Amino acid sequence: MPDTLNVALGDRSYPILFAEDLADKVLDFVSELTAAGRRFVVITDRNVATIQAPTLQRLFGDAPTLVVPSGEESKSIAELAKALDFLAAQGLDRSGLVFAVGGGVVGDLAGFAAASYLRGIDYCQVPTTLLAMVDSSVGGKTGINLKAGKNLAGAFHQPKRVFIATGFLKLLPPREFAAGMAEVIKTALLGDRLLFEDLERQALSAGDLRLAWTVRVCCGIKAGLVESDERELAASGGRALLNLGHTFGHAIEQVTGYGTYLHGEAVAVGLCAAGRLSRALGMVGDDEVRRIESVVSAHGLPTRLRSPLPVAGLLAAMARDKKARAGTLRFVLLKALGEAVVRSDVPPAQVEAVWRDMGCA
């Protein structure tokens, strides 16, 4: 039997199901939809459509399927338009449902399309990457990127179910698995020191027996933060803590055009930058920074920029970050390993100094 975690949000509550294989549970849900006369479609990407073709056929049969290009570039206005046109072409009404099958890009795009079409229809997340399992499939944040910045258009739209089948990870390329580990490390740093120390003792791998437990722990932490602050409105702390490393990471992605770094790789650099900024503000010491960078490196992730980037461009990208309030940029920083805090009193000169320390031109 699968393990189940409920995200308690009143009438928007939903279950997250965990198991190595959840095919039977997905098929049961598909049967429920069919019996109720509800039409459904699938949105996935080219990689999943190729690698997981037998699984998609088994789960969804001949259901209409939209295949989008793989990669961050698909989180765009153009691909959103195609998705909306696809939903309309299938004649979905307000009882329709979208299955988002893939990584974070697919989940964000399909979720935003579902939130927008007919002013909102149901969708389910079927994450196939580690990053999506531990982070983006849970919490109802959907959206796309704009030229001005990452995730600047979107909607809060909670899924009806999340099916986390860790068996998908057996076919995940090593680089994609490592990218997902950035979000695992992030979660440990902001809210679970014991998890961080476990990763520190031994790096987690795709075949590790600890993997299922780790995914479950990360989802539990995120669910708790989402329940307490669904729309990221808390004056301090709250859901914003999940952005640890992301203010730096999103700037890297934008300046490099969303193609040089995977999202998790940019976040990994961002975690190291956040550690260094926390040290500059006297919140942590050299040992904590060393330990963060050691764990990041042990999981095959970059701790510094691969090549120099212009500081001015990165600072400009950060200024457009969606977490800013009243024109002031907010940073998620570390009080200790396993404890994070949101601060808006960070001197710009210290941010610039950290960028230069990370290898900027």
Are 312 and 270 in a shared domain?
Answer: yes
Let me know: does 317 contact 198? Beta carbons within 8 Å.
Answer: no
- One of 25, 75, 141, 330 is an active-site residue; which one? 141
Whether the pLDDT of residue 111 is over 90: the answer is yes
Whether the pLDDT of residue 323 is over 80: the answer is no
Give dist(CA 322, CA 342) in Å, integer.
Answer: 14
Are 238 and 89 in a shared domain?
Answer: no
Q: Where does the pLDDT of residue 97 fall: very low under 50, low under 70, confident under 90, or very high at 90 and above?
A: very high
Q: Is 153 helix (H, G, I), strand (E, B) or coil?
A: strand
Entry field: residues in the chain? 361
- One of 246, 279, 299, 323 is an active-site residue; which one? 246
pLDDT, mean of residues 143-160: 96
- One of 150, 216, 239, 330 is an active-site residue; which one? 239
- One of 119, 147, 170, 201 is an active-site residue; which one? 119
Let me know: does 1 contact 149? Beta carbons within 8 Å.
Answer: no
Let me know: does 115 contact 155? Beta carbons within 8 Å.
Answer: yes
Domain that holds residue 163: 3-171
- One of 150, 250, 279, 299 is an active-site residue; which one? 250
- One of 72, 176, 183, 230 is an active-site residue; which one? 183
Q: Is 139 helix (H, G, I), strand (E, B) or coil?
A: coil
pLDDT, mean of residues 86-94: 98
Nearest to 273 by CA among 284, 289, 285: 289
Domain boundary among 117, 144, 171: 171
Whether the pLDDT of residue 327 is over 80: the answer is no
pLDDT of residue 325: 67
Whether the pLDDT of residue 60 is over 90: the answer is yes
- One of 222, 299, 323, 330 is an active-site residue; which one? 222
User: How crowded is the C-beta side of 290, counted as CA atoms within 13 Å?
Assistant: 3
Are 151 and 290 in a shared domain?
Answer: no
Are 322 and 180 in a shared domain?
Answer: yes
Are 180 and 160 in a shared domain?
Answer: no
Are 327 and 199 in a shared domain?
Answer: yes
CATH of the domain at 351: 1.20.1090.10
- One of 47, 186, 243, 276 is an active-site residue; which one? 243
- One of 75, 263, 276, 299 is an active-site residue; which one? 263
Give dist(CA 350, CA 318) in Å, integer.
Answer: 14
Let me know: does 70 contact 100? Beta carbons within 8 Å.
Answer: no
pLDDT, mean of residues 162-170: 97
Whether the pLDDT of residue 253 is over 80: the answer is yes
pLDDT, tens only, 182-227: 999 999 999 999 999 999 999 999 989 999 999 999 999 999 999 9
Tell me, yes or no, if 119 is annotated catalytic. yes
- One of 232, 253, 265, 293 is an active-site residue; which one? 232
Tell me, yes or no, if 356 is annotated catalytic. no
Tell me, yes or no, if 239 is annotated catalytic. yes
Are 155 and 223 in a shared domain?
Answer: no
What is the number of structural domains in the chain?
2
pTM score: 0.96
Tell me, yes or no, if 32 is annotated catalytic. no
Helix, strand, coil share (%) of the chain residues, nearest 5: 50, 20, 30
CATH of the domain at 115: 3.40.50.1970
- Crossing angle for the helix pair 311-319 and 348-357, to the nearest 10 degrees: 130
Are 209 and 304 in a shared domain?
Answer: yes
Are 131 and 184 in a shared domain?
Answer: no
Instruction: Dig out the tokens for 92 from the structure.
Output: 């979905």
Let me know: does 353 contact 280? Beta carbons within 8 Å.
Answer: yes
Share of the chain above pLDDT 90, in %: 94
Give dist(CA 117, CA 84) in Å, integer.
Answer: 6
Are 152 and 178 in a shared domain?
Answer: no
Q: Where does the pLDDT of residue 1 fall: very low under 50, low under 70, confident under 90, or very high at 90 and above?
A: low
Instruction: Dig out the tokens for 51 from the structure.
Output: 């690698």
User: How crowded is the C-beta side of 174, counted as CA atoms within 13 Å?
Assistant: 4
Tell me, yes or no, if 201 is annotated catalytic. no
Are 292 and 330 in a shared domain?
Answer: yes
pLDDT, tens only, 340-358: 999 999 999 999 999 999 9
pLDDT of residue 227: 98
Output the CA–CA distances (angstroms, integers) from residue 166 to 25, 48, 126, in the order listed. 14, 15, 11
Domain boundary among 171, 186, 204: 171
Tell me, yes or no, if 46 is annotated catalytic. no
pLDDT, tens only, 5-36: 999 999 999 999 999 999 999 999 999 999 99
In terms of C-beta distances under 8 Å and separation of at least 24 residues, what long-range contacts does 276-283 make, across chains too? Answer: 276/354, 276/357, 276/358, 277/331, 277/333, 277/346, 277/350, 277/351, 277/354, 278/333, 278/334, 278/335, 280/350, 280/353, 280/354, 281/333, 281/343, 281/346, 281/350, 283/333, 283/334, 283/335, 283/341
pLDDT, mean of residues 251-268: 96
Are 206 and 334 in a shared domain?
Answer: yes
Mean pLDDT, all residues of the chain? 96
pLDDT of residue 326: 63
pLDDT of residue 320: 85
Domain boundary among 141, 171, 201: 171
